[in-house]
Amino acid sequence: MRVLLAKEMRALDRAAEEEIGIPGIVLMENAGRAVADAAEQMLGSCRGKTIVIFAGKGNNGGDGSGAGRWLLNRGARVSLILAATMEELSGSAADQLQYFFACGGEVLTIQGDEEESFWEQLKVRASRADLFIDALLGTGFAGNLQPTLRRLCDCINELKARLEGRCRVLSVDIPTGVNADDGSASASAVAADETVTMALPKPGLYLYPGARQAGKVTIADIGMPATLLESAGSDRFLLTGEMVKSMLPTRPKNAHKGMAGRAFVLAGSYGYLGAAALSSFAAIKGGAGLVTLYTPEPSREALAIKLTEVMVKGLAVDAAGHLASEAEEEMLEAVHQGAVLALGPGLGVSEATGAVVRRLLGSAELPCVIDADALRALEDHTEILPHMAAEKVLTPHPGEMARITGLTVEETDRDRLEIARVYAEKWQAVVVLKGVPTVIALPDGSVYLNPTGTPAMATAGCGDVLTGLIAALIAQGASVREAALAGVYLHGLAGEIAARNGIGMTASELVEALPEARNRVISEFL
């Protein structure tokens, strides 16, 4: 599913009207009904409920007016607070407001900030509300809120807090005060419980802090022609379960372990055995038929005892216990038999280990999943990447991305989509920039946002699990691109499953949830 910037969404609206001939009022009517449907779902039933709609003078306000008429028809008591005079409205937005008024809707119009009686009256009406609908601005916000809009947003947030859960907030398209393109937000931005967005998602709904203001996001079908949706001018996408299902490798009924692929993992060092264990076991639970873990010899025995389903091989070390140059030869002799090499979790950051990693990457011909200490080995050596014979997936968190790019963590997080895109193209690699949301950028310039996951996944070891899972999918026959996209989505979904009891989930529990996540995606889209 494509993700559109505000200007791209406006172009889509124009194309629907000018190229297809769909009047704007038709799309606005459908949007209004979608908002009313979302409101009814939030309330259980609209009948007898009090709903206050905050509407602006543009098309977002028109969507709100249309929703108000639908809600009146469903038995709700609806008041509309218009952040303008009626004379300021035009086109379909003016028509929708007139329809709402003609059907018995109550309209309260702002005449000026100086009229405190308006604000007192507003607070009285709003204090009885079961639901606020924010239709003030939509995707039109960029920079600062005008004083009246800022005061209205503050009013919504203050009243919601004062009503202590008795009143919820539904935003139309995107919460007022949130930038639809980058997720930046005014200090007064509406804090919605849910947001219903029209036709296609916008980046600001998934990028923080905008994602926090948006709450639960629903994407509404407003009758936009499928031909336009498919060709909308965007190389940004939102991952969906349906997309992921199409990427998952399938298995014939006569499958055996050899047909399910062989994954090699280079991981672990003294004091960091857990990372090696998690990534290797995740490769098993992710579906790989055979998994072999290569680890420095001092780590071999402990890991062999812990990982009964994984073959564990020890590698030569130097006097300091770091990988010796002979380890590279041992690895190269073996990995030509496999489908994928994952390397880095808990491997260590010595110069000797880094040199082995760099030589391996320069020689490898099978796909590589590069994480953790293998990324550290690339610091000041990223020139290796575009010249590698092997396809590769890099899985940095913001700190790791900052180290290998020379950026700061703040710069990395400020524009996650563009940073991931630039370096995916530069390195000719799939870049999985972990975080909220995780962004997957492909060498062709396309970028994907992942909607799955939970704050409970903010615990040690979850990144190691992702490394093993992506490797498992490649081993089973998925392309590097498919494995990265599906792996990130399933990883987040497994986190949601494992975190049923909230914070306190462990990375081991995340691993155990991987099969259920995969099965859920497959069964949901049969």
pLDDT digits (tens, 9 = 90+) for 155-197: 999 999 988 888 999 999 999 999 999 999 999 999 999 999 9
Using a CB cutoff of 8 Å and minimum separation of 24, what contacts does 248-252 make? Answer: 248/473, 248/478, 248/486, 248/518, 248/521, 248/522, 249/287, 249/473, 249/476, 249/477, 249/478, 251/476
Place of tokens 């193209």: 425
Q: What is the pTM of this model?
A: 0.94
Give CATH for domain 6-233: 3.40.50.10260
Question: b/e for 110-138, b at 16 or more Cβ within 10 A?
Answer: beeeeeeebeeebeebbeebbbbbbbbbb
Does residue 315 have a pLDDT over 80? yes
Gap between the Cα atoms of 148 and 140, Å rounded: 15
Same fold, 6-233 and 243-524: no
Q: Binning pLDDT at 50, 70 and 90, where does residue 378 land?
A: very high
Angle between helices 273-285 and 514-524 (to 10 degrees): 30
Q: Model confidence at 389, in pLDDT bands (50, 70, 90)?
A: very high
Q: Which amino acid is at 486?
A: A
8 Cα distance to chain centroid: 20
Please provide the average confidence, as pLDDT, over all residues in the chain: 94
Fold for the domain defined by 243-524: UDP-N-acetylmuramoyl-L-alanine:D-glutamate ligase (3.40.1190)
CA distance 161 to 227: 43
Q: How far apart are CA 205 and CA 190, in angstroms?
A: 13
Domain ranges within the chain, ordered by starting residue:
6-233, 243-524
At residue 125, the pLDDT reads 80
Q: Which of 28-37, 115-124, 217-226 is the least confident region?
A: 115-124
Q: Which pLDDT score is estimated for 163?
A: 86
Distances in whole angstroms, Cα of residue 113 to Cα of each of 79, 117, 144: 20, 10, 17
The pLDDT score that the predictor gives to residue 115 is 67
In three-state secondary structure terms, 283 is helix
Sheet containing 340-343, strands listed edge to edge, beginning at the edge strand earlier in sequence:
236-238, 447-449, 439-441, 430-433, 392-394, 368-370, 340-343, 262-266, 290-296, 311-315
Percent of the chain residues past pLDDT 70, beyond the cut: 99
Tell me what the mean pLDDT of segment 296-323 comes to.
Answer: 94
| Residue 320 CB neighbours (<10 A) | 10
